[in-house]
Amino acid sequence: MNKKLFIMGAPNAGKSTFLAALWHSINQKDVHTDLTLVKMTGDVNYLYGIGQKWLEVEDLERTVIGQEQESISILLTDGDIELELEFPDLSGETFQNVYENREMSIELKEKIENADALLYFINVDDIHSPEFISDVAPQYRQEGNKIEVRSAGKDDPTQVQIIDLLQAILNIKKKVNLGLVFSAWDLVEATESSDVNLFLKRNMNMLWQYLEANKNVYNTKFWGVSAIGGKIDESERLLEFDEPIKRIKVVNDKMVTSCDLTSIILEMSGEL
């Protein structure tokens, strides 16, 4: 079985961290995972590099335009079937520019078109909410005051940008197998319920309504993921784990918790 999973998300969404943690997960032998590595093609040194930084709880350099890994293919197996996945590690600006510039490159269109499923990452600590006029400081609402030039990509609500991108994707694909991954999930669990559906409904209600109203075209699943297991400044605690994979936390939309990132891939593949 040959299926392609395409990773998407804004800058700082957690895509590279997920890939680094996944690379370690499918190479280690101490803890069972649903899928294991058969082989990979692409820049092995890049994967080993980010994997080592993840292992040592170090910050990963953010992927920027011009330094992207556009052809990483990983062949996985569950013992019975083999699943080939394409993980192009693209810059978040690649997707943000679609919203800002109102255009999409032919290369990006083809990647979306050829993908069997899309995995969109959202950093829970970087969700921009809409502002009411009444919430804007009075000095900015007075006539004649100079207003700073705003950036659509940085200042517009996150859920508005995601919905806009999803609508653009519907011009490419008639039906979308979509996985939403909320990264830095440990920050959510520290303050509220670990129910992923409830988090989406409370914090991105417009996106939740959009997906609910369009179930005929979006086959959607949700996960909360802490790929590192905590904050970088908690490295001393995180390095105490005898088996680093156990730092990882994955919570699906049925409230089932594990440390297996490959379970996301297998579950998405099961919908194809």
Domains defined for the chain, CATH in brackets: 5-270 (3.40.50.300)
Phi, psi at residue 76, to the nearest 5°?
-120, 160
Note whether 262 and 34 are within 8 A (CB). yes
- Quote the pLDDT of residue 152: 74
pLDDT of residue 186: 93
With CA atoms as reference, report the closest residue to 60 among 71, 72, 46.
46
Structure confidence at residue 65 as a pLDDT band (50, 70, 90): very low
pLDDT tens digits, 148-170? 666 777 778 999 999 999 999 99
Model-level pTM?
0.87
DSSP reduced 3-state for 179: strand
pLDDT in the model for residue 132: 60
Average pLDDT of the chain, as a whole number: 85
Closest-CA residue to 128 (of 267, 265, 10): 10
Question: Quick one: how many helices (H) and strands (E) in the chain?
Answer: 12, 9
- From the list 82, 71, 81, 6, the residue with the least C-alpha distance to 41 is 71
- Which amino acid is present at 85? L
The single-letter code of the amino acid at 52 is Q
79-105 tens-digit pLDDT: 887 777 776 555 657 777 888 888 888
Cα–Cα distance for residue pair 126/158, rounded to 1 Å: 8
Asked if the model's pLDDT at residue 135 lies above 70, the reply is no
